[in-house]
Amino acid sequence: MMAVKPISPKDAVSLRYIPDEVIESFNELIAENLDLNGKATFRVDNVICRIINKGLVLEEHKQEIYDKKWLDIENIYEPLGWIVKYHSPSYGDSCYESFFTFEPKKKKA
């Protein structure tokens, strides 16, 4: 009999660690950028700057934010009623900077 059981996809997501300061940073930017339709759009570098300002990582170690997948927050916000989209230019394309959009899910009639 196995003492340790394999992890399910649902359990794997729930065990992923994202610091409170990261969620705080997203929450602040959503609130600050909310338009009249309830949609918020903001650049990824603004999130990274907030995370750095909260003291989680040093500026010179910001790659750690990507390595630890702290920006992969869709599965946290979507069950709460948001449609979360991450927009980034294609590889080698630099015509715009990456950004997030948070839009409320439409209620079914």
CA separation for the pair 30, 77 (Å, rounded) = 11
Q: Which residues pair with 40 in a beta bridge?
A: 34, 102
Per-residue pLDDT, averaged over 62-89, amounts to: 94
Of 84, 83, 86, 85, which is closest to residue 66 (Cα–Cα)?
86
Within 10 A of 33 (CB to CB), how many other CB atoms are there?
16
Residue 47: which pLDDT band, with cuts at 50, 70 and 90? Answer: very high
- Structural domains of the chain sorted by starting position, each given as residue range(s) with its CATH number in brackets: 18-104 (1.10.10)
Enter the pTM of the model.
0.84
Residue pLDDT, tens place only, 84-108: 999 998 777 777 889 999 999 987 6
